[in-house]
Chains A and B, each alone.
Chain A
Amino acid sequence: MENENPDLTSPTPAPDATGSTPPSAANTTAEAPAAAETQSAAEAATGPANSFGPRTDFARLTAQTEAIKAEIGKIIVGQQDLLELLLTAILADGHVLLEGVPGVAKTLMAKLLARTLEVPFSRIQFTPDLMPSDVLGTSVFRQNKADFEFRPGPIFASVVLIDEINRAPAKTQSALFEVMEERTVTQDGTTYGMPEPFLVLATQNPVEQEGTYRLPEAQLDRFLFKLHVGYPSLAEEVQILQGHHAGFGGTNLEAVQPILSADDLASLRRQVRQQRVEANILEYIAKLVGQTRAHKSLYLGASPRASLALLNGAKALAALRGRDFVTPEDVQFLAPSVLRHRIMLTPEREMEGGTPDDVVKQIMQQIEVPR
């Protein structure tokens, strides 16, 4: 499909000639965003602009995100939209829930994305007998010192891949509440902070019912996006087969190199936070989310956290698309991913075969785009 986004034709500074930025080069330009922000502020203070172009320098952001796409593209075929949304979530500092049938590379995508970030990574396979202490950590008695020592659990990492998150019962799920929202873990009266960045990538299988538990609404609300991982197209599947055949099976994860360090990511996030958002866009977001609370097909509407998620996501997406301001297009693009796991259909609507995405689409049709 031809991309008709007008912003892609905007004169954004192009990435370097190789199309990817080596990690060393990315690390050495840590001061660039700060300079760009200063320049942007200076421009804003001086008055009218001289041209219709980005007032913020997104060259570094564009180069690094393109490099990540290239690295992941070495292994995964297609799924460009999914990757764009994952990058959006990373820039917006939000957790992501990946849902899809078995075998569509959910876990592989999460693992590869984690590899492109040069930060501590851990993986937890959720099982029905998993305990909260298996996730958070536990205090161990040291006989030689006659005191307790806290042994951090696998959650203490920057990128945490929780595979098949819906296989653990609510008791274990609730262990994630504090750490996902407040980025801290309180154990034995002591609160431990999480490293920056902290990103939870969780996968779940929507088909299997045996031995699975529905995630609590409070936990679902803590995910910025719930993304559907679909089947590849015919051409993509042929490409997958060709690649697999040429490589004689197996997936060489070592081929994927880290692109972003923690400092890089922090500076990119600072840049994203300074995106411009007009008052009419804020009102549009509030109307969209507010309508979920009054819709007749919905038993549970979205919380204000959903509004914030939509705003932060839209700012990150606009930056990824080379714009320094948010448009209704960004909001509409992200609305299904932000809202689908935060709303609950009425039983009647569910029996009719309706889906949350249908309702979100209806809501978007009912609200006028600010123009």
Chain B
Amino acid sequence: MVEKLKLKKAGPGGCLAWCLLVVGYLALAGAAQAAPAPKPVPPAAAAEFRPRPLPPDRITPLPTRRLDAERLRELASQRDFRYVEPSARTDAWEAFWARIWRWLGNLFDTPTGRVTWKYGVYAVALAVLVYAVLKLMQVDVTGAFGRAGRRGQLEYDTAGENIHEVDFRTRIAEAEAAGNFRLATRLGYLEVLKHLTDGGFIQWQPDKTNHAYLTELAAGPLRDAFRAATREFEYVWYGDLRLNAALYQQARASQRAVSSLLAGRPAPVSAAIPQSA
């Protein structure tokens, strides 16, 4: 009853499919029953059907391949086609390397060597990895070795003269004799800076401005004297103030006042200089 209902639900298409399925099954079953079983072949007949070799083909013309003697000689002269066993003898260089490798082999063949080799490889690999990471991140590790503190003193434009190597007395005298009061004032100011540096009052660095040196000095007569010398130097050197002998005397007096204070002496009276510019 249930199957009838299902068939009803399936409709005409469903009935046709079912019919085809049943007919196909019955046909296959009938064919299986009708097929005859294969008969066994007797041994004499099997020997009769053994395949015999074919006769050689004497009808098809085959071209005879002829090798060019010149080409053969040419190939034979090439290095790649010399099938000769290499000489067993080794030169001194190869013997040296063979000895090195043998020594290394012996070295790492010991228990200690094996441990060293095992962890050494890891250590080298780790070092290479760390180096690569630091390099990629552009990390400056030179500070780890105690060089970071001097960084400011390393990367200077060294075009200027070193104040610790200049013979100020001679050069100032030459500038005064030549009437170049501007240069003489500059040299005198550099000499003041040198004295202050030597005395430990300022820390000389070429990138510092005069104002920076002034702030390094403690309040007092020395700072006041240096301020006056600085002001006069700047008017001359940066302000292009053209000096006469009297003004130059004033500038030099200010510079000598700083040096005298550093030496613990009273400020001297200005020395005589040539009056002609």
Question: Which residue numbers of A lie inside 8 Å of B, CB to CB?
Answer: 4-7, 9-10, 47-53, 55, 276, 278, 281, 287, 296, 323-329, 332, 348-349, 352, 364-369, 371
Residues B247 and A6 in contact, CB atoms below 8 Å apart: no
Q: Which residues of chain B are within 8 angstroms of A48 by Cβ–Cβ distance?
A: 242-244, 247, 277
Q: Which residues of chain A are within 8 angstroms of B137 by Cβ–Cβ distance?
A: 348, 352
B239 within 8 A of A: yes
Q: Which residues of chain A are within 8 angstroms of B214 by Cβ–Cβ distance?
A: 4, 6
- Min CB distance B162 to A, Å, is 11
- Min CB distance B202 to A, Å, is 13
B13-21, B39-47, B124-132, B150-158: which lies at the interface:
B150-158
Complexed CA–CA distance, A21 and B236 (Å): 32
B27-35, B102-110, B225-233, B265-273: which lies at the interface:
B225-233
Q: Which residues of chain A are within 8 angstroms of B238 by Cβ–Cβ distance?
A: 276, 278, 281, 325-328
Size of the B side of the interface (Cβ < 8 Å), in residues, is 39
Residues A325 and B240 in contact, CB atoms below 8 Å apart: yes
Q: Which residue on chain B has the smallest CB distance to residue A47?
A: B242
Q: Which residues of chain A are within 8 angstroms of B156 by Cβ–Cβ distance?
A: 366-368
Binary interface encoding of chain B residues 198-238 relative to chain A, with 1 for a CB under 8 A from any of its CBs, else 0: 00000001111111001100000000000100111011011
**10 A–B contacts, CB within 8 A, in A order:** A7-B231, A9-B231, A10-B231, A50-B244, A287-B157, A323-B234, A327-B210, A367-B207, A368-B207, A371-B160
Q: Which residue on chain A has the smallest CB distance to residue B277?
A: A48
Residues B209 and A327 in contact, CB atoms below 8 Å apart: yes
**Which of A7, A52, A324, A332 meets B247, CB within 8 Å?**
A52
> Which of A4, A367, A368 has the most B CB atoms < 10 Å from its CB?
A4
Complexed CA–CA distance, A4 and B210 (Å): 10
- Min CB distance A114 to B, Å, is 32
Q: Which residues of chain B are within 8 angstroms of A53 by Cβ–Cβ distance?
A: 235
Q: Which residues of chain A are within 8 angstroms of B189 by Cβ–Cβ distance?
A: 371
B261 within 8 A of A: no
Q: Which residue on chain A has the smallest CB distance to residue B216?
A: A4
- Min CB distance A329 to B, Å, is 5
**Which of B155, B208, B230, B247 meets A50, CB within 8 Å?**
B247
Known: A47-B242, A278-B240, A366-B157. A4 touches B211 (CB 8 A): yes
Q: Which of B230-264 contact A (CB under 8 A)?
A: 230-232, 234-235, 237-244, 247, 250-251
Q: Which residues of chain A are within 8 angstroms of B160 by Cβ–Cβ distance?
A: 368, 371
Complexed CA–CA distance, A5 and B67 (Å): 101
B138 within 8 A of A: yes
Known: A278-B237, A348-B138. A329 touches B157 (CB 8 A): no
Q: Which residues of chain B are within 8 angstroms of A4 by Cβ–Cβ distance?
A: 211, 214-215, 227
Residues A327 and B234 in contact, CB atoms below 8 Å apart: yes
Complexed CA–CA distance, A50 and B205 (Å): 33
Residues B206 and A6 in contact, CB atoms below 8 Å apart: no
B177 within 8 A of A: no
Q: Which residues of chain A are within 8 angstroms of B277 by Cβ–Cβ distance?
A: 48
Residues B231 and A6 in contact, CB atoms below 8 Å apart: yes
B195 within 8 A of A: no
Q: Which residue on chain B has the smallest CB distance to residue A53?
A: B235
Residues A332 and B209 in contact, CB atoms below 8 Å apart: yes
Residues A6 and B211 in contact, CB atoms below 8 Å apart: yes
Residues B206 and A49 in contact, CB atoms below 8 Å apart: no
Q: Which residue on chain B has the smallest CB distance to residue A367?
A: B157
Complexed CA–CA distance, A287 and B156 (Å): 12
Residues A52 and B209 in contact, CB atoms below 8 Å apart: no
Known: A49-B247, A52-B232, A52-B250. A365 touches B209 (CB 8 A): no
Q: Which residues of chain A are within 8 angstroms of B215 by Cβ–Cβ distance?
A: 4
- Min CB distance B125 to A, Å, is 25
Binary interface encoding of chain B residues 151-173 relative to chain A, with 1 for a CB under 8 A from any of its CBs, else 0: 01001111110000000000000
Residues B211 and A51 in contact, CB atoms below 8 Å apart: no
Binary interface encoding of chain B residues 70-95 relative to chain A, with 1 for a CB under 8 A from any of its CBs, else 0: 00000000000000000000000000
B183 within 8 A of A: no
Complexed CA–CA distance, A325 and B155 (Å): 29
Q: Which residue on chain A has the smallest CB distance to residue B163?
A: A371
Residues A6 and B230 in contact, CB atoms below 8 Å apart: yes
**Which of B158, B208, B240, B241 meets A52, CB within 8 Å?**
B241
- Min CB distance A120 to B, Å, is 38
Known: A49-B247, A52-B232, A366-B157. A276 touches B242 (CB 8 A): no
Residues A49 and B231 in contact, CB atoms below 8 Å apart: no
Known: A52-B250, A368-B156. A9 touches B227 (CB 8 A): yes
Q: Which residues of chain B are within 8 angstroms of A328 by Cβ–Cβ distance?
A: 209, 238
- Min CB distance B234 to A, Å, is 6
Known: A6-B230, A6-B231, A9-B227. A49 touches B210 (CB 8 A): no
Known: A368-B159, A371-B186. A329 touches B211 (CB 8 A): yes
Known: A348-B137, A366-B155. A52 touches B227 (CB 8 A): no
Q: Which residue on chain A has the smallest CB distance to residue B223?
A: A4
Residues A371 and B237 in contact, CB atoms below 8 Å apart: yes
